Amino acid sequence: MSNPILWKNWFRHTDPEEGVYRLLRRVPIFADLAEAELRQIRDVMHHRTYNDSEPVFYEGEPGTGMYVIIKGNVRIVLHHGQPDEVEIVRLEPGDFFGEFSLLDESPRSATCIASGNTELGGFFRPDLMDIVDRQPKTGIKIVLRLADVVAERLRQTNADLRLTKEQLRSQAQKLEEAQAELDGFRSRGIVIERKPGSAG
């Protein structure tokens, strides 16, 4: 039998915080930060653990900041606890959510629930404001990146809105054409009746 010591990875970094550091690297708002700055963010973040099905925050609750998933999963759901509850997305380690709450205390747009034993790293508005005061350069980098994220979401929302408007316009046009045709029939004395049992 081979000696397990021979297989041990002696070069593996055993600092548990190193994993958090690597996770933070993947978060877009921290993308421009230097290594030292990223370690400062890691030191400032709040490490929280959640049990299975424990809520992280509720829909409509005033937002405080963002979370990065270190371990475990979370479910983002709408109308939690109601018959029309719907799961929007399930997030995994390395994912982040709630970054808009770094800007203001607007209500959370959905409920977040831990799935399994979950560890989250919380970065909140007080922490961001503190960094803006103490290290303005780092703070500006984060805020500019946050602005990028917000702008991108806005662009996506605008594109979706434009598409929806086009679809609505197209529907409205079809409705007008159908109405004009109906009026044409009526003017010629043709009566159009709804079939019994049909919808509408």
Q: Which residues would be at the binding site for other proteins (CB under 8 A)?
A: 46-48, 50, 54-58, 60-62, 64-65, 105, 122, 124-126, 129-130, 133-136
Q: How far is the CB of 127 from other proteins (least distance, A)?
A: 9
Q: How far is the CB of 146 from other proteins (least distance, A)?
A: 18
Q: How far is the CB of 26 from other proteins (least distance, A)?
A: 23
CA-CA distance, 197 to 200, in Å (whole number)?
10
- Tell me the sheet residues that pair with 118: 50
CB of 109 or CB of 148, closer to other proteins: 109
CB of 130 or CB of 183, closer to other proteins: 130
Q: How far is the CB of 49 from other proteins (least distance, A)?
A: 8
Phi, psi of 47 (to 5 degrees): -95, 115
Is the Cβ–Cβ distance between 119 and 70 less than 8 Å?
Answer: yes
Q: How far is the CB of 136 from other proteins (least distance, A)?
A: 5
Phi, psi of 117 (to 5 degrees): -70, 120
CB of 13 or CB of 79, closer to other proteins: 79
Q: What angle do CA 20, 78, 104 make, to 5 degrees?
A: 60
CB of 34 or CB of 182, closer to other proteins: 34
Helices (H), the chain: 4-7, 16-25, 35-44, 125-134, 136-187
CB of 55 or CB of 93, closer to other proteins: 55
